[in-house]
Amino acid sequence: MPVTIPRADLEANAPLAIIVLTRESLAMGQRLREAAGGNAHVLILGPACVVGRCEGPALDSEQREPLSPFFSTDTPGVLGWRGPLRRVFPTIWRDHARLLVVADLEFVVRLLGSLTLDRRSDPALVVLDPSARFAIGVLDGRGGQVRAEPLASWSALVLGAQPVIARRTSRQDGRASERE
C-alpha cells in the first residue's frame, strides 16, 4: 500500500536524490520512489555495479569520457555512475534540493567534507542507515525552505524505520531559528 507524501511537507517538486551503495539499499530506494508515486523529481543514484553493468554505459569510438558523470539504466528513475562516489557527490550535492543517502552516518559526514556552505544554498540531507532502522534528518536546506524533518519522517514511515531529528528547535512553532 503506497504511503502518501504530504505535498506541502515534502516539497514534492524539489528534486530528491536517493543515493544507494548496495543492492539492498537499491531495493530501499525503489520502495521509496514507488511510495512517492514514481515522481519524476525523485531519482535513485548508485554505482554502476549496483544499478546496472559494472563497466557502465558503452561509449562510442570517439568518446573517451561520458559527457555526464551519470548514465541511464534499464529502470526508470535510476541512474548510475562509474568510479568513486567522492568524484560525483559534489554534482549531486549541487543539483538536488533534497538528498537521502543510504549509508552509515560517519561515511556521509566524511563524504561531505567542505561541500557544506550555508543553510541558504545547501540541500536538505537525510541519512538512512543501511539496515533501515533509523532515518536521520541531518541538515535543512535552501534557506530552511527544504526541511530534513518531513523527509526523515516520511522515509521512516515507508520503510518502518525510526525517524531521528538531529537538530534542536528553539522557537515556539518548533522550527529552528536562523542562527542554528
Using DSSP's 3-state secondary structure scheme, residue 135 falls into strand
pTM of the model: 0.82
Confidence check: pLDDT of 28 > 80:
yes
pLDDT of residue 47: 93
Classify domain 7-56+68-165 by CATH number: 3.40.50.11220
Dihedral of the alpha carbons of 126, 37, 131, 139, in degrees to the nearest 10 = 0
Which residue in 24, 10, 1, 15 sits closest to 128, CA to CA? 24
Q: How do residues 111-159 score in pLDDT, each as one tens digit?
A: 998 898 888 889 999 999 999 999 999 998 876 678 888 999 999 999 9
